[in-house]
Amino acid sequence: MKILVTGGAGYIGSVVSEYLLEEGHEVAVVDNLSTGHAEAVDPRIRFHKIDLLDRAAVVKVFDSGVDAVCHFAAFSQVGESVADPLKYWHNNVSGALSLLSGMKYAGVRHFLFSSTAAVYGEPESTPITEESRLAPVNAYGNTKLSIERLLADCRKGWGLNSLSLRYFNAAGASDIHGEDHRPETHLIPLVLDAAYGRRGELAVFGNDYPTSDGTCVRDYIHVKDLATAHLLGIDKLVEGYSGVLNLGNGRGFSVLEVISAASRVTGKEVPFRIGARRDGDPAVLVASSEKAEDILGWKREYPGIEEIIEDADSWRKRFPGGYSS
């Protein structure tokens, strides 16, 4: 199939593009490189360096023929979204509107959407299922939930098939693509940087949560397992399926558990101190991914926290300063 990947120069988009190519799909990427890296786009991919807000340019991309779209391009920093909601609403929601307009115009009916656990906000109970209350607590989550609702409207209006995949904490790397956010705010790359002395001690955001060791528990899912779910998701879309699925590891790890695992993987002490809580951090976010397992036949191959950290570490060793562009 011919698959258009928006945000294919970013972390999850680049790994999914890699898997799509391996599966024999023809891949085109749209990315404005505002946060992505040109080097993350495989030379076999047709790369359109355009902004999704440029509707005329987006419509033109569909001229070359597209069977399905995987939409990753979005701003995704929670803290920044709280401080600058207009930036997030404008970019994320208008970008999706522009892309969907291009699809409608070109008659493309299959849409795989990169959604997030942030649509649930502070959960009432865990594990979180797709039926759990939707109550985002930041602008980032609000934009993603609004797009999910827009997709449901497009299904009614013009027969769009869409699959929204709500990721929990994506982590790890493939052999060639990994995580390179600037600034980096995610726990696993920060823990590795602290272990190797690339930055000072890690601040653990609070140890007075109602969890076994007092630090927050998150559901870290290997980006390679996420990529596999996307391949299965595309097959499902083509069969005519539309819906919403959680993608998580099925178990959670506390911040201190991640730190110990990183010490075991690297053989180094991770210097850390206990700092203040970070605003908006729920104590525990763990998904039930049973629906994805049932509907997609998805099985996680890399659920261990050590193997997730090991792959993140190997990638970083291969790209010590991250991507060069």
Query: Could you list the residues that contact ligand UDP (CB under 6 A)?
Result: 78, 169, 185-187, 190, 202-205, 216, 218, 255, 278, 281
Residue type, 303: P
The sign of the dihedral angle between the CA atoms of 65, 292, 186, 83 is positive
Extract the tokens encoding 320.
Answer: 């010590």
Q: Are 245 and 165 in contact (CB under 8 A)?
A: yes
d(CA 215, CA 201): 17
Reduced to 3 states (helix: H, G, I; strand: E, B; else coil), residue 102 is helix
d(CA 280, CA 108): 38
> Beta 161-167 vs 217-218: how paired, if at all?
unpaired
Nearest distance in Å: CB 102, ligand UDP: 30
Give the CB-nearest residue to ligand UDP.
Answer: 216
Residues 6+ apart with CB under 8 A from 178: 11, 311, 312, 315, 316, 319
Reduced to 3 states (helix: H, G, I; strand: E, B; else coil), residue 311 is helix
d(CA 35, CA 181): 7
C-beta of 12 vs 237, nearer to ligand UDP: 12
Nearest distance in Å: CB 169, ligand UDP: 5
Q: Are 248 and 168 in contact (CB under 8 A)?
A: yes
d(CA 303, CA 257): 14
Residue found under tokens 């294919």: 8
d(CA 207, CA 191): 16
Nearest distance in Å: CB 310, ligand UDP: 17
Residues with active-site annotation: 140
Q: Are 262 and 195 in contact (CB under 8 A)?
A: yes
Nearest distance in Å: CB 205, ligand UDP: 4
C-beta of 218 vs 224, nearer to ligand UDP: 218
Nearest distance in Å: CB 1, ligand UDP: 31
C-beta of 155 vs 186, nearer to ligand UDP: 186
